[in-house]
């Protein structure tokens, strides 16, 4: 997949994280691209049809461009997969055997 180019700036994005960071650091350019419909093909190519649809809905609404960009970024952040913290039992279960052996106290003789 090609990088998204936030032209006329030099900013590019190859991942959703980079894309959202660029939207926040280049808000005027990003708002113009959102309103121009330029986000939608890249988002579909990135496998994010949900965000392409969100961008399209914002684009055709009567929301001012800056507010529309804020709505888009918020929707995208909320839609990002969240990493789940491992439970204590899963951390113990995946602990290497050598580490477990070292953590046991040797019996007193």
What's the pTM? 0.72
pLDDT at position 108 is 57
- Asked, for residue 98, whether it belongs to a domain, the answer is yes
- Asked, for residue 21, whether it belongs to a domain, the answer is yes
Number of domains the chain is built from: 1
- Asked, for residue 108, whether it belongs to a domain, the answer is no
pLDDT per position as a tens digit, 67-84: 999 999 999 999 987 655
* Domain residue limits at 63: 4-103
Q: HEC string of the chain?
A: CCCEECCCCCCEECCHHHHHHHHHHCHHHHHHHHHHCCHHHHHHHCCCHHHHHHHHHHHHCCCCHHHHHHHHHHHHHHHCCCCCCCCHHHHHHCCCHHHHHHHCCCCCC
- Asked, for residue 64, whether it belongs to a domain, the answer is yes
């Amino acid at each position: 997949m090609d990088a998204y180019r936030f032209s006329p700036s030099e900013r590019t994005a190859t991942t959703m994280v980079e894309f959202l960071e660029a939207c926040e650091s280049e808000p005027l350019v990003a708002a113009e691209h959102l309103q121009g419909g330029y986000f939608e093909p890249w988002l579909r190519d990135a496998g994010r049809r949900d965000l392409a649809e969100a961008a399209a809905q914002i684009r055709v609404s009567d929301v001012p461009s800056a507010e529309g960009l804020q709505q888009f970024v918020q929707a995208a952040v909320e839609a990002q997969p969240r990493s789940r913290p491992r439970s204590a039992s899963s951390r113990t279960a995946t602990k290497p055997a050598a580490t477990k052996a070292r953590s046991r106290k040797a019996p007193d003789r």
